[in-house]
Amino acid sequence: MSERITVTVDLGESGHRLDLFLSHKFERFSRSVLQRWIDFGHVTVQGKKSKSNHKVRSGEEIVIVPPPPEPVRLVPEAIPFTIVHEDDTLVVVDKPAGLVVHPGTGNRQGTLANALLHHFQSISRSETIRPGIVHRLDKATSGLMVVAKNDQAHEFLAQQFKTRQVQKRYLALVYGCVKEAEGIIDVSLGRDPFVRTKISTRSRRARKALTRYETIRNYRDFSYLRIYPHTGRTHQIRVHFQHLGHPVVGDETYGGKAIQRVQDPELAEFIQALNRYFLHAESLAFVHPDTGEKVSFEIPLPEELAELLHVLK
């Protein structure tokens, strides 16, 4: 049976377009998805079909009955990736930049999930579109990920991420010189109220987000940082450093026109040619599901990022 969501318009909410009212009310649904549902009759106002531009009125009851999701069949694909560690229970992989973790809108194939099904006969939740996947990295970010081979390991690891017991360390290059040798960014994050695909510090449903950092080295127009995210919010590091005025190099979504700060045209061209973020998950530590002992893994910067640092020196 489909989920049924009911909401009543409050006095102060009158006059808004139906699609805008619902997108602000339910941040997990994009405005375009809501508009499509309204058009196909999955949204009713006072028991009747409506239009996206309907101006809601106080006391109106709005019901959303989302259609069932389209089934996504995951096909094994021979996509190369580096295995850092493997045992009977889990795998630690080095995800390259440019590889999406699992299928989603616009990415039905060519993901790490497709590659995992190809490389491993035994993987947890293999019937889903996220086989073995306990956490994720953005497409343009590289680094360590742990993958579960069975459901028990999956639940054990997922609980560690949920309770913030997993220790993660990233390396990042950001625009501008960060003056502090170390610091903590304690700024809540949530879905951007105007651009659904982005995360913002202005969200009305923001959740606590905490990031600690250390400055490894300052260059003329950049800072090289070691970053420890305490929480695991979507886009956390990228948005937190945008908030500080030091967006991550290569991040056009949250970096805006930061590339224009680079005065050397050859250096600017080098950065643009990277086609990725200078953000790398270099270390991961957690309690192993089988032994109960803490294990840790570490990998160096990818060659293209190390080369950029060499250019800066």
Point out the residues that are catalytic: 138
Inter-residue contact 218 to 178 (CB < 8 Å): yes
User: What count of residues does the chain have?
Assistant: 313
Complete DSSP assignment for 193-237: SS-TTSEETT-TT-B--EEEEEEEEE-SSEEEEEEEESS--TTHH
Read off φ and ψ for residue 182, nearest 5 degrees.
-155, 160
